[in-house]
Structure formats: C-alpha cells, structure tokens
Amino acid sequence: MPAYLESILAAHRADAAADDRDPTTAIAEARELVRAEGRISRRDFVGALVTGRAERGMAVISEIKRRSPSKGDLDPTLDPATVAKEYESGGASCLSVLTDGAFFGGSPADLVAARDACTIPVLRKDFTVGPLDVCDARTMGADAVLLIVAAMDDDDLGSLMALADDLGLAALVEVHDEAELDRALAAGAGLIGVNQRDLRTFEVDRARALRMGERMPEGVIAVAESGIRDAADVERLAGAGYTAVLVGETLVRSADRRSAVDGLLGART
C-alpha cells in the first residue's frame, strides 16, 4: 500500500525547510494581527459545532476539495465561493477548506474565497508541520487549524496547540487510534477529530469512530471524519456521542450540494 501520509508530510517539511521566514517574526506579526482585529472578529468554530448539534442533532463540517491522492479528481473546476454558499444554505455549521496544492488541488485563495462568501467558521485543512503553518492559517483568515497527531511529536503538538490558542484559532486535533487519542488528551485537546481514513493507506474503517467514541471523556467535543455517506451514518455517530461530522467526498461529488448537506441531517427536501 502507498504510504500517503509519509509522502505528504515529507513534501510539506521540505517546503517548511525552504521557507526563509523567521518564525519569531511571523508569530509576532500574527499576534499583532490578533491585537488589531481582536479575537471577537474570529468566527466561533467550536461554538458553531455545539449550536449545530443542539439545533439539528448533529453539526456538519462540509469540506471543499478538488481532488484526493486516493480518489483522484473529485471536482477540479469547483468554485469555492459557490460551494461555500451551497453548503451554508444546506445547514452546514462550519466549512473545511483544503489549502494543500500538490496533493489536493487546493490553495489559500480557496479558503479566502470560501470564507468571504459565507458567514460560518472555516477550518484550514492542511498538513501542519510547524509554527509558520499556524501563523499562515491566521493571516489567511481561518478560524480553526488542523493538527494531526501522527504528524508530530508531543512537544510539537503542545506548542502548536498553544500557538493556535494564542492566535485565536480553534485547534482540531486529529487522531486515528487509541494511542493517538491518549496523546491528544494528555496534551489537553478539547476538540478532537477521529479520522476513519488511515492516512498511511487511505483505507476507511467505518467502525473506527464508534469504537473511539467510547473512549472520549465527557466534555471533549468529538468530530467524526471520513467515510460518512448518509443520514444513517450520521445518526449512528450522534448516538455514539459525536458533536459533528466532517464530510468531504460525499458532498463534493453531489449534484445538489445544498440538499446533500440537508439530507445528512435527516431532512427531506
């Protein structure tokens, strides 16, 4: 099986090594942006998930991506602004926007366009490998950043979580198994995503989130990611205690994305 995660991380770390920006200066500039804009200008990612769960039984984070390493092209010509509006009108609580170019066909411009077109919070979905990535998420306008436990050691996880908080960003800490969940909890993560797709093989285990849900402590906001196809999947995950689902391929491939989001929430349109 291809080692997708290793290949993607190697490319991102090479890009980071070639970035000649001084991290201390970049962090200071991002902090200044926080002071100038104020934290209140950020859209509340966590709050939107909690509200979505309370109002419709589950919050949906709808994903914008053009392609994936395992499935190839999904919709290479999609317009992020149009898709963002469709998702929001269908009842999405938040957006996830892929900004990785080499593997997913995304860009920071996609995030900017999507966020400008809607009123809901936006996650920068990318492979964060260092503090410059977190700073970039803030400066491009994201409300949340993805931190993949498998991509970093415990020291980096803790420091990047702290930096995200300092910059007014929610940190969605992604895990794939029990050992990674333990690491996330030890680092103090309160927003945890369980990815049912193994990022090393890209195979999906749709029972993974149900198993992992049993281990989630009370008070943790849990997000099930990948392999979610329909309202029945969403209902099972809601019963397992999840606050939100993150759905990409199912929605991107849909001919009617607004209705597809609505349908995940059990609506009949």
Catalytic annotation, residues: 63, 65, 125, 174, 195, 225-226
Tell me how far apart the terminal alpha carbons of the chain are, to the nearest angstrom: 41
Please give the Cα distance from 268 to 245 (Å, whole number).
19
The first and second tokens of residue 31, run together, are: 């902090």
Question: Residues 201, 69, 94, CA angle at the centre, nearest 5°?
Answer: 100
The first and second tokens of residue 194, run together, are: 């369980």
Please give the Cα distance from 248 to 93 (Å, whole number).
14
- State which H helix or E strand residue 172 sits in: strand 170-175
How big, in percent rounded to 5, are the helix, strand and coil portions of the chain? 45, 15, 35
Question: Residues 60, 65, 69, CA angle at the centre, nearest 5°?
Answer: 120
